[in-house]
Each structure stands twice: as C-alpha cells, then as structure tokens.
Amino acid sequence: MWSLQDLKEGKVLLVDKPLEWTSFDVVNKIRATIRHTFAIKKIKVGHAGTLDPLATGLLIVCVGKATKQIVDFQGLDKRYEGVLKLGATTPTYDAEAEEDAQYALAHINNDMIVEASKSFIGETDQVPPIYSAIKKNGVRLYKLARKNQDIAIEPRRVQIHALAIEHIDMPHVSFSVVCSRGTYIRSLAYDLGRKLHSGAYLNALRRTHIGRFDVVDAWQVEELVQQIKQLK
C-alpha cells in the first residue's frame, strides 16, 4: 500500500481514461482525491499526453516528484485502435461536431482503402486539426476556431510506424496505428478521406500503448479513487 510520502516521492499511475472525460478531468479527480484523503492543500499531479474527450484508453498520470518524468513519457511512441467514417467530414475531424459535408463513396473499394493507407507509413507532414490545443501566437487553436477566425496552420513532421486496416464495413473502417509524438489521428482520418477523393472523420479512438506501457495494466478511474481513499 502507498503512503502520502510514497505519493510525494513519486508515483506513475496508468489510467484507462473514460469516454467523454478530458485528460485534465482525470488529473483533477486524482489530485482532489489525494488532497481530500490526506487533508493537504496541494500535491503535484499531471498527465503525459492528452486524449480527446471522445477517445478512451491509456493515460499516464504522474504524481509528486514523478511529474519530472512527464517530458520523457511524452516522447514515447503510441499505439491506437480506431474507427473512421468515410463519405463525410466534420469541422473537428471527429464525431464531436455534426457532419458539415458529404462525399461520394461508390468509387471506393476495399483494396483502394488498404493501398491508400500504406502511403501514410513513414515520415510525413501533417496539418493538425484547427480544433486542437496547439497554440498560435499564444492562443489555443480551438479558441480561434470558435471565433471563426481564418487561421494558417503550419504542418508538422510526424512519423507513422505502422498503419493497418483491420476491418471494413462501409462506410466504417477499423484500423490500428503506431505513431510518434504529436501525431493527430483525427488528421490521419481526414487525410485518408482526401486520399480516396472523398471525406472521412474519426468516429472512435482508443489508445492501447504508450511505449512499453499497456492499457491492460491501467486502473479504472473509480477503482483508483477507492484505492487512494483506502490509504488514509
């Protein structure tokens, strides 16, 4: 069992982020639980890589002195399993927003999808979604997007180590991907749609690995909360 001193000295916690929670929701829940359990005013808690609210899966949460390791964890490769929908787009590149355009699908077959996916393997320049937390002149892009400002977004060099099409049930395509830090799977889905002369957006996403860390070893949030409460 951990003690407060153990937490202050540093703990790395693997958490399975629930659907519709932000990564900061998870951090805040853990921080608040520790503060309340031990009646302390503050303790350092942070995460090592954001997951969108509609994504689930592995989140590395660092407590106490372990927060110094966050930068190292952020640089690790990630593995995701996802589902995209072909034939439409949304402003956010995922299902958080309503579809804003529809595109033809009749010309697309399974072989075309597999071949198109292969073109993304390796180093590539990727344009992040406008609805993202990246800063432009000190302001988060999503805040500028909500003001309908015309924004030029610079592409970023990312690396796709592996991209496999797992199952096709048109218009839905299931896939797995292993990629470098900074890769937006929403942009990958959008770009695959364009490659197929159609549209696409991310319909579901789950992060299964960060480096050697596996989501099968992760806590459910409520289980972790109960574990912390038992430390008092």
- Residues designated catalytic: 52
Q: Name the H helices within 39-77.
A: 70-74
Place of tokens 């991907």: 177
Q: How far is CA 180 from the centre of its chain?
A: 12
Distances (CA, A) of 46 to 24, 60, 62, 139: 8, 8, 5, 21
The residue type at 78: K
Spell out the alpha helix ranges (H) of 39-160: 70-74, 110-118, 141-146
The radius of gyration computed from the CA coordinates of the chain, to the nearest angstrom, equals: 19
Q: Which two tokens stand for residue 226?
A: 């109960």
The length of the chain, given as a count of residues: 232
Alpha-carbon distance of 154 to 196, in angstroms, equals: 23
The answer to whether 31 touches 84, Cβ cutoff 8 Å, is: no
The type of residue at 86 is L
